[in-house]
Chain A
């Protein structure tokens, strides 16, 4: 083969191989790591998969936060005002975690229907509401439960 063609062929082969590896790895990694968001209504209705890493979010139900006496285990309920889901978490909660505030948790649903979180995110400041939470509240509060918080949330998401 002509040396220039040979060289070009090498380059092309290298490129194709590189792209193939990259695409392969990407699709594989993507498939492993996509975390879908479910709101409490969906989880309560059994629409969320068990033992798959998902995101869940809503408001922390008033009076639901309970701490274990000698570990960092904490349990609380997350609600969208039409259904609520029990959440368990062991570790440090974010500074702005509080009852009546919006949170997003990452974790897995176990067979007892408890959401075992490995990460809990709360809002950065008083104006911020996780967009997923805002939308979930919006969906569940068609009409009666429209609290001030929900209205604020809807404003934040209107981009």
Chain B
């Protein structure tokens, strides 16, 4: 009976979403406070029912209710309980439910944390979020009901969770990624609300900023977790494949990064308004595009659970409606460009503008590389794929350029920066980073132009960031006092940029100096990978909770001394008849040693992959640092002290919406 209640809860949630998308908006447009007051309770109700549906689905997994088709397809009675929990989002329907829960969770968060916002604004924002919820709730109820029953032929046991997904990486990766994807809906809702009431100003930018930053931080974590998971779980030590589903998550990340920076300009200087709004719309549209690509079955990969044409067209329609409606609104309401504040051709504004140009170019590149084969295929013009080299050759120059620009931009000032002063300022950081990069090149024993550029860009960003921190923290009361005086959002920026530098350094070094060898080995054999000597000592068998495994034993030596022993496995999962390669990794801050067992090539010999991966951890540590920077930035005081500004804004809005008389403040 519970599953039916779950479905009922979803339907109730849909009804509340419909109300939420109409009532407060009508209240805001007609200036009726009584209607606007419905916004928060409706958002809360919607959350309660969706959460209930989610809890019921989780319960069905935990008690092995295989009469529910989704549970039967994605779980098994032998699965450990924690994987039963994570199996809730291991398939299409459940992950969609989780997506919706997060969307509505964000809606609730907006309702709770925006007490200071004028009620006109909050009503519009929540209504827009309500509309998005209607779309996705309709999608899940009509095409992907997680509570569908298998009656009367209830299977005795489930088909098991895909063993690829039985891993801590999976427990964390989708929730983080979804938090990011869906979080951009808040920035989108703010942008649409601002377009509706025609007020795009610093206050609006300040309200959207923390939401955008949080969403971006989650997305950063989600992508990093996905990359980490692919590295050790897909078995072969790659950390980014330019696979369309990866690109689908990178697209909103790139445009979201552009959005964060352009919001900063809009907040501080009141310019780039139309551009910022457009970016907010585009970023959300790219999140939807990502969902469409991953969930519609257009792409076949680990992520595509089912290729159901109905789902694909529904999502495509949703995407089309969102884009068309918001761009139409944008066309009619975007402010005509007559910028009052001036800025010179060498100013922080210009640096951030260039940052946006680079990030948007990168977004376009990735989009072209991802969508071009799909479009050709759809038009029946041939089947082709675009290989990794395309992305590497086009993306790397943009990444390096972004780094170089960033290092210089850190020192720039708003409005006008003196060119001569900036050049003198940059001289020392330039010298320091050149020397440091040269040392790194010598340390890794080999010069390659791209390796040098990548390391240099990372060094340049790092040196410039610390240099600026040193300049800013000089204080008569001592360095420590000066450091303490910096705002949290400044610290957030510092961490964000240092994290980026770490990712750049990691990506460059591991791609240029990593070593990968596939060798044929039998117990007793030795092989070298970099400076490490790997000895294959033994192969054995063991039983896991729901699999059997053959495991190899390897001793790792450096300069004749034993460093560690590794035990990579080859697992057979009997229920789904699948095989998994579990690599074993000796992880370190400066290098990973990676061993994976391939297929058995003769009675004694096995194909073994050995890898030496310098700085590979920096990719994920750097992402973590970036995300922490984001969370720190939103803890800034100025997002809390703002009641005064909003009071002024409220009065003006009432004038702007043309119903001053009916609204009581």
Check B162–A29 contact: CB distance below 8 A. Answer: no
Q: Which residues of B contact A124 (CB under 8 A)?
A: 164, 301-302
Check A18–B357 contact: CB distance below 8 A. Answer: yes
Check A35–B298 contact: CB distance below 8 A. Answer: no
**Which of A67-75, A80-88, A109-117, A140-148 faces chain B?**
A67-75
Check B345–A6 contact: CB distance below 8 A. Answer: yes
Contact of B390 with A by CB under 8 A: yes
CA distance A62 to B518 in the complex (A): 25
Minimum CB–CB distance from B394 to chain A (whole Å) comes to: 5
Contact of A30 among B301, B357, B390, B609 (CB under 8 A): B390
Mark out the residues of chain B between 105 and 154 whose CB falls within 8 Å of any chain A CB in the assembled complex. Answer: none
**Which of B188-196, B206-214, B378-386, B538-546 faces chain A?**
B378-386
Check A92–B386 contact: CB distance below 8 A. Answer: no
Check B300–A131 contact: CB distance below 8 A. Answer: yes
CA distance A90 to B358 in the complex (A): 39
Contact of A11 with B by CB under 8 A: yes
Given that A7-B345, A35-B387, A37-B384 are known contacts, is A25 also in contact with B397, CB under 8 Å in the complex?
yes
Contact of B390 among A32, A37, A90 (CB under 8 A): A32
Contact of B438 with A by CB under 8 A: no
CA distance A25 to B296 in the complex (A): 31
- B368-392 interface bits toward A, Cβ cutoff 8 Å, 1 = contact, 0 = none: 1100100000000011111101100
Which label, helix, strand, loop or mixed, suits the secondary structure of the B interface? Answer: mixed
CA distance A34 to B388 in the complex (A): 10
Which label, helix, strand, loop or mixed, suits the secondary structure of the A interface? Answer: mixed
CA distance A10 to B596 in the complex (A): 54
Contact of A26 among B296, B394, B577, B598 (CB under 8 A): B394
- Minimum CB distance partner of B389 in chain A: A33
Contact of B415 with A by CB under 8 A: no
Check B579–A72 contact: CB distance below 8 A. Answer: no
Total count of chain A residues near the partner, CB < 8 A: 48
- Minimum CB distance partner of A123 in chain B: B300
Check B385–A37 contact: CB distance below 8 A. Answer: yes
- A1-29 interface bits toward B, Cβ cutoff 8 Å, 1 = contact, 0 = none: 00010110011001100110010011011
Given that A37-B383, A72-B518, A131-B300 are known contacts, is A93 also in contact with B393, CB under 8 Å in the complex?
no
CA distance A22 to B596 in the complex (A): 39
Check B361–A22 contact: CB distance below 8 A. Answer: yes
Contact of A156 with B by CB under 8 A: yes
- A31-55 interface bits toward B, Cβ cutoff 8 Å, 1 = contact, 0 = none: 0111111000000000000000101
- Minimum CB distance partner of B601 in chain A: A67
- Minimum CB distance partner of B307 in chain A: A159
Q: Which residues of B contact A7 (CB under 8 A)?
A: 343-345
- Minimum CB distance partner of B296 in chain A: A159
CA distance A20 to B235 in the complex (A): 40
Given that A11-B353, A18-B357, A67-B602 are known contacts, is A32 also in contact with B389, CB under 8 Å in the complex?
yes
Check A35–B345 contact: CB distance below 8 A. Answer: no
Contact of B393 among A10, A29, A69, A126 (CB under 8 A): A29
Contact of A93 among B345, B397, B599 (CB under 8 A): B599
CA distance A135 to B302 in the complex (A): 20
Q: Which residues of A contact B350 (CB under 8 A)?
A: 11
Contact of B486 with A by CB under 8 A: no
- Minimum CB distance partner of A10 in chain B: B345
Check A91–B518 contact: CB distance below 8 A. Answer: yes
CA distance A32 to B596 in the complex (A): 32
Check B394–A72 contact: CB distance below 8 A. Answer: no
Minimum CB–CB distance from A48 to chain B (whole Å) comes to: 13
Check A30–B386 contact: CB distance below 8 A. Answer: yes
Most chain-A Cβ atoms within 10 A of its Cβ — which of B308, B365, B384, B570? B384
CA distance A129 to B364 in the complex (A): 30
- B538-557 interface bits toward A, Cβ cutoff 8 Å, 1 = contact, 0 = none: 00000000000000000000
Q: Which residues of A contact B354 (CB under 8 A)?
A: 14
Check B364–A159 contact: CB distance below 8 A. Answer: no
Given that A7-B344, A124-B302 are known contacts, is A30 also in contact with B372, CB under 8 Å in the complex?
yes
Check B579–A34 contact: CB distance below 8 A. Answer: no
Contact of B577 among A10, A14, A97, A126 (CB under 8 A): A126
Check B599–A71 contact: CB distance below 8 A. Answer: no
Check B393–A72 contact: CB distance below 8 A. Answer: no
Contact of A14 among B236, B357, B598 (CB under 8 A): B357
Mark out the residues of chain B between 577 and 626 whose CB falls within 8 Å of any chain A CB in the assembled complex. Answer: 577-581, 596, 598-599, 601-602, 607, 609
- Minimum CB distance partner of B516 in chain A: A91
Q: Which residues of A contact B342 (CB under 8 A)?
A: 4
CA distance A131 to B398 in the complex (A): 33
Contact of A36 among B296, B301, B364, B384 (CB under 8 A): B384
CA distance A67 to B605 in the complex (A): 12
Contact of B446 with A by CB under 8 A: no
Contact of B183 with A by CB under 8 A: no
Q: Which residues of B contact A34 (CB under 8 A)?
A: 384-386
Q: Which residues of A contact B598 (CB under 8 A)?
A: 92-93
- Minimum CB distance partner of A155 in chain B: B307
CA distance A92 to B607 in the complex (A): 6
Check A22–B578 contact: CB distance below 8 A. Answer: no
Check B393–A25 contact: CB distance below 8 A. Answer: yes
9 interchain pairs, CB-CB under 8 A = A29-B393, A32-B390, A37-B382, A72-B518, A74-B601, A91-B607, A95-B581, A159-B309, A159-B312
Q: Which 10 A-B pairs have the closest CB atoms?
A: A92-B598, A33-B390, A159-B307, A37-B383, A95-B579, A22-B361, A91-B518, A33-B387, A29-B390, A92-B607
Q: A29-B394, A30-B386, A159-B297 are in contact. List 20 more A-B contacts (CB 8 A).
A: A18-B361, A19-B361, A22-B364, A22-B365, A25-B394, A26-B368, A29-B393, A33-B386, A37-B382, A67-B602, A91-B607, A92-B236, A92-B598, A92-B609, A95-B570, A95-B578, A95-B599, A96-B579, A125-B576, A158-B309
B residues near A, CB below 8 A? 162, 164, 235-236, 296-298, 300-302, 307-309, 312, 342-345, 350, 353-354, 357-358, 361, 364-365, 368-369, 372, 382-387, 389-390, 393-394, 397-398, 518-520, 570, 576-581, 596, 598-599, 601-602, 607, 609
